Structure 1
Amino acid sequence: MEKCSPLKAKRKDKLDNNEDKLQHEDAAAAVSDDEAPQKKLARLSDGASLDADDTGAAGDNDADLALNGAYQKKDVTQWLQTAWSTKQATQPARDDKTGAQIYSEPFQICLLPELLTQGRTQALVHEMINKVHWSRKQMDLYEFYQSTDLSNMAECHLLTNFLQLLRKQVRPWLEEVTGLKLDYVSASCSMYTCGDYLLVHDDLLKDRQIAFIYYLSPWEGAEEWSEEQGGCLEIFSSDEQCFPQFPVQRKIAPKNNQFAFFKVGARSFHQVGEVTTFDYPRLTINGWFHGATNEAFVADSSRAFPRLSYLQPDINNRPKLGLLLNDVYLKAATCRSIQKRIEENSEICLYEFFKREKFELARAQLLNDETLSWRRQGPANAHNYEVLDLSTAKGTVEELLQLFRSNAMFHLLRDFTDLDLYGVDAITPTCSVELQRWSHGNYTVLGDGLVSEDNTLDLVYYLNAAEGAAVITYLSPEVEQRSAAVENGQNVSGDAEQTLDEVEEEEEECHDDSVLLTITPVDNALNIVYRCEGTTKFTKYVSRNTPLDKGPVFVISCSYKE
């Protein structure tokens, strides 16, 4: 391949194995409907959906919000101040008077139940349902609905009033409790419906000092959620390099009228677990209290994600391609057709790549062989899936994996692409081979070390494919810088995304235009993608709503360099 041609946007190639004929089909791009929240929330605006004592309160927009007087008492403030400053305990400190709790591990988190005087949460929710304009936010890191900043909601009396309460009462009170100098507050509303989530991040950026979440769930019987309903604030511990580690250490379920806040730092890793209930949305007001430059920010900027390791081809392994591959892909005419299409589009999908019997044997082994050893791939803010310990592979699975690192495969890929992967002109071709197992809750995110530093040839092969699991999206190089900023917290508030309106719109347009290719799972299909330096990719989060009736999805993921 003489030069790097960019991937064609939203395009997929298909090879008809019976006629050696190449066809094309468009990949549909998801379009968000900003009116969807109002439709989903319509039934909740009925007074019967709220507690019985909310009659009149929901429509009483002239009433002011008031902070619970218990938290303004000197003895409670002093108790919180002492508990916050005491770096103790695996067990939380608890105040018997207010029910307030402070956790010290893995980082400082405070929970304040009943933040506002009774009867006001229903009115806030009523205003959010009827007056807030919601925008759908979808990226590698999150899916949920968000409002504009509360400072831009002049028509929403109570939400504006809540922002003033944060500025005038909560901010100076938090300064006293935490000992931090806080200059201003930013806040927005977030709504997570069934299937929505926000993946692991630390919120660390420049002047963010305290992140906060205020929970609103005033519906009768749903004031406090169970873990089964999802939407928990999930807290992660971290290793000596400040990378978050599995499993989740602590879960804090949504609870009506509860205010949670934590110190933003290099270890403040958290996520919003996927909402699994269809009955009610997870509604919050969230954001940050800002101050001087966060001390942890400068040190954190140099933290690098681990990258793939590349090996030279295995010259001792000499598989017989005719016993493994569909015969059509060994024909010279087919190879020429494949090469032409890759030169034009930089990608192609080869259906029924392996002989059907080999595919079936490998799939059955992966589903049933308990001697195969799997480990979870982290760190949690980069990816979450399982990889096979290649030393435990045997039988047909080992046969396929060895093929991808063999000289025979390097030779075949040269015929497919004209890259210098084999022969007298090849200098030091290398490859990375990984067998992945994908289930509910798995993902990779942008900036996870998978950005291409060189021109690279990717191979993606599926076994036991299921729609919606292990879907891979390639993005153009210019989106990497913006997405890395999102992951580092520039666009993610306490437990939700937060930007200025014009930046939000620019980001949405940028993401829509930057999608080069989406690979959807198809059994026994080999996807070949030639990507230029700087091109990045992520594997979409696997929602709990994704049917995996046949078991997990397996992916052989390979990358080759000249």
Structure 2
Amino acid sequence: MATKSPKIAKRKNGTTPSPRAKKRRSVVLNFINLNAKYTLGEKFKKDFMKVLEKDHSPFPHWQLRNIVDNSSNIVEVIEEELQNFGEWKRKENDLYSLYQTVDFKALSASQYPALYSFRRSFCEEVRKWLEGITGIELTDIDCNGSCYARADSLLPHNDLIDTRRFAFVYYLTGADWDCKVDGGASWHRVAEIISDSPRLSINGWFHSKRRLNAKMPEVEQIPKFVPSKKRKLSNVLNGEYLTKKSKNSVQKTFADNSELNLNDFLLPEVHRNVFEELSTSEASFEIVGPPNKRHIARLNSSEVGNLENVASLTKAMKSTTLVKLMSDLTGVNLNGAKSSLKVSRVDKGSYWVLGDEDATASSADGYCLDVHIFVGFGEWNEEAGGELIYIAEDEEEELLRVTPSENSAAVVFREPGVMYFLKLVNNFATFPYFLFTLTYYDVNVVDS
């Protein structure tokens, strides 16, 4: 059925008037002003500059409470707009997990007038104010909203990047905010949120003309060796994996996926004895940093000889016999390949992250085979973090996520430029696990 055209009234002279355009509300932008107590007076300026001139733990910073003049209740309007923001994006990688908005530069003044005004004020008034105090010419700002929900966090990191000069965080937390459970103060990290109250803020950077050359951190040095001794594996490993039938079956699975998981990998009594030995040897571990790269407890190699069951397992893992077994299980030629072995205790707060230096090292290492043996009891909570996550250089999508599993071995073949990180273990974890990681480097790959 055809739809009828709307009837339009005619003027007395027979002419037809133009349809009236819909009325639009004008956009009201309230300019956001600084609190009057933060002025360019000489005393305030001198006090402000003292922070830059002295060592100020943990780094030069200022806390400016009630920096925005809230006589018009603009702060509540800003908070309401951010709470009702319609396009929060989930951001998650080795360094952080949170919800984030786009840069406020992209916001529509008609849709988000208060947030638009906030950025304009910081870009104009606050930028000039900061220039006047510090004498540093500033060019532009980044500005976006962040929301950390339960179990979200931001790990310590290095932000000396490009033209960044001053970071800022404008908190929109309530009066009942609790430092102990709501992420703590932002000393260049946001601790894990362990309450159900979201942590809301606006944050960003003031930029200057100075351009920084990023210093690449050193890659953790794990000693490498070439396996040279034979060991009897039947005293350590599940005999099922030593049979020809199992080797052929496992190799077919590995050929399709370049990774596999071997359940019940160690003999039950070996697994139990190693776990009990490590669980009662806390002093044998040391925390390895720096915090902007990792926080993980590693077994001191000098202590292995004092741990009978651990020593027996590590000797088997360093043997030529295991080289032969892993070659049979995967079809990868490991003869002559250099290896490394590290033993870690993975518990609440454990993590390691990746950087450009790790990508460079991975490319230099060539094709690698990783063997991760998980020692621990109980089913791991999927929300607890603690997974090993494989990614490729310059890619955001993960290639593989290895979840801890009681007495299992994850075997992964990776190409140059592929790396893995340990996702932060959060408060959903109720027990630790121990991780033996054996890596074979620069293995021979024959194109079929």
Q: TM-score scaled by structure 1?
A: 0.68
How far did residue 120 of structure 1 move? 3.1
- Work out whether 1:226 is the aligned partner of 2:143: no
Deviations along 1:316-364, one digit per CA (max 9) or x if unpaired, are xx43212221111110111122222222211111111111111111112
Identify the match of residue 423 of structure 2 among 533, 540, 547: 540
Q: Pairwise CA RMSD of aligned residues?
A: 2.2
Counterparts of 1:517 and 1:159, CA distance in 2: 38
1:111 aligned residue = 63
- Work out whether 1:557 is the aligned partner of 2:434: no
**Paired residues for 1:217-296 under 5 Å:** 217=173, 219=174, 221-222=175-176, 225-235=177-187, 270-278=188-196, 280-294=197-211
Deviations along 1:476-503, one digit per CA (max 9) or x if unpaired, are x3xx235xxxxxxxxxxxxxxxxxxxxx
How far did residue 234 of structure 1 move? 4.6
- Work out whether 1:431 is the aligned partner of 2:339: yes
Are the equivalent residues in 1 in contact too, given 2:372–2:410 (CA < 8 A)?
A: yes
Identify the match of residue 97 of structure 2 among 143, 157, 162: 143
Counterparts of 2:101 and 2:333, CA distance in 1: 51
- Work out whether 1:331 is the aligned partner of 2:249: no
Counterparts of 2:317 and 2:28, CA distance in 1: 66
Identify the match of residue 374 of structure 1 among 254, 265, 285: 285
- Work out whether 1:473 is the aligned partner of 2:383: no
Determine helix, strand or coil for the equivalent of 2:57.
coil
Identify the match of residue 130 of structure 1 among 73, 84, 91: 84
Deviations along 1:453-496, one digit per CA (max 9) or x if unpaired, are 31001001111152335311112x3xx235xxxxxxxxxxxxxx
2:13 aligned residue = none
Counterparts of 1:120 and 1:541, CA distance in 2: 37
Are the equivalent residues in 2 in contact too, given 1:231–1:282 (CA < 8 A)?
A: yes
Counterparts of 1:287 and 1:366, CA distance in 2: 44
Counterparts of 2:320 and 2:161, CA distance in 1: 47
Are the equivalent residues in 1 in contact too, given 2:222–2:341 (CA < 8 A)?
A: no
Identify the match of residue 42 of structure 2 among 75, 78, 86: 75
Deviations along 1:376-395, one digit per CA (max 9) or x if unpaired, are 12222222211101221212
| Cα distance change of structure 1 residues 303 and 356 upon mapping to structure 2, 3 Å threshold | closer
1:250 aligned residue = none
2:404 aligned residue = 521
Identity of aligned residues (%): 28
1:457 aligned residue = 369
**Count of aligned residue pairs for this structure pair:** 402
| Cα distance change of structure 1 residues 433 and 211 upon mapping to structure 2, 3 Å threshold | same
Determine helix, strand or coil for the equivalent of 2:66.
coil
How far did residue 61 of structure 1 move? 7.3
Greater RCO, CA 8 A, separation 6+? 1
Residue 273 of structure 1 aligns with an amino acid whose one-letter code is A
Residue 222 of structure 2 aligns with an amino acid whose one-letter code is L
Are the equivalent residues in 1 in contact too, given 2:154–2:189 (CA < 8 A)?
A: yes
Counterparts of 2:323 and 2:118, CA distance in 1: 62
Are the equivalent residues in 2 in contact too, given 1:84–1:177 (CA < 8 A)?
A: no
Counterparts of 2:416 and 2:40, CA distance in 1: 59
**Paired residues for 1:492-503 under 5 Å:** none
Are the equivalent residues in 1 in contact too, given 2:298–2:342 (CA < 8 A)?
A: yes
**Paired residues for 1:27-46 under 5 Å:** none
Deviations along 1:252-306, one digit per CA (max 9) or x if unpaired, are xxxxxxxxxxxxxxxxxx211111221x211111111111133xx22x3444433
- Structure index of larger Rg: 2
2:18 aligned residue = none
Determine helix, strand or coil for the equivalent of 2:34.
coil
Are the equivalent residues in 1 in contact too, given 2:168–2:204 (CA < 8 A)?
A: yes
Counterparts of 1:414 and 1:111, CA distance in 2: 59
**Paired residues for 1:291-302 under 5 Å:** 291-294=208-211, 297-298=212-213, 300-302=214-216
| Cα distance change of structure 1 residues 332 and 359 upon mapping to structure 2, 3 Å threshold | same
Residue 144 of structure 1 aligns with an amino acid whose one-letter code is L
Counterparts of 1:434 and 1:303, CA distance in 2: 20
| Cα distance change of structure 1 residues 273 and 177 upon mapping to structure 2, 3 Å threshold | same
Identify the match of residue 162 of structure 1 among 95, 102, 118: 118
Residue 59 of structure 2 aligns with an amino acid whose one-letter code is F
- Work out whether 1:86 is the aligned partner of 2:4: no
Are the equivalent residues in 1 in contact too, given 2:157–2:293 (CA < 8 A)?
A: no
- Work out whether 1:345 is the aligned partner of 2:257: yes
Residue 556 of structure 1 aligns with an amino acid whose one-letter code is F
1:310 aligned residue = 224
Counterparts of 1:164 and 1:234, CA distance in 2: 24
How far did residue 416 of structure 1 move? 1.7
Gaps of at least 5 residues in structure 2 are 1-26, 444-448
Are the equivalent residues in 2 in contact too, given 1:439–1:469 (CA < 8 A)?
A: no
Counterparts of 2:434 and 2:385, CA distance in 1: 10
Determine helix, strand or coil for the equivalent of 2:291.
coil
Determine helix, strand or coil for the equivalent of 1:69.
coil
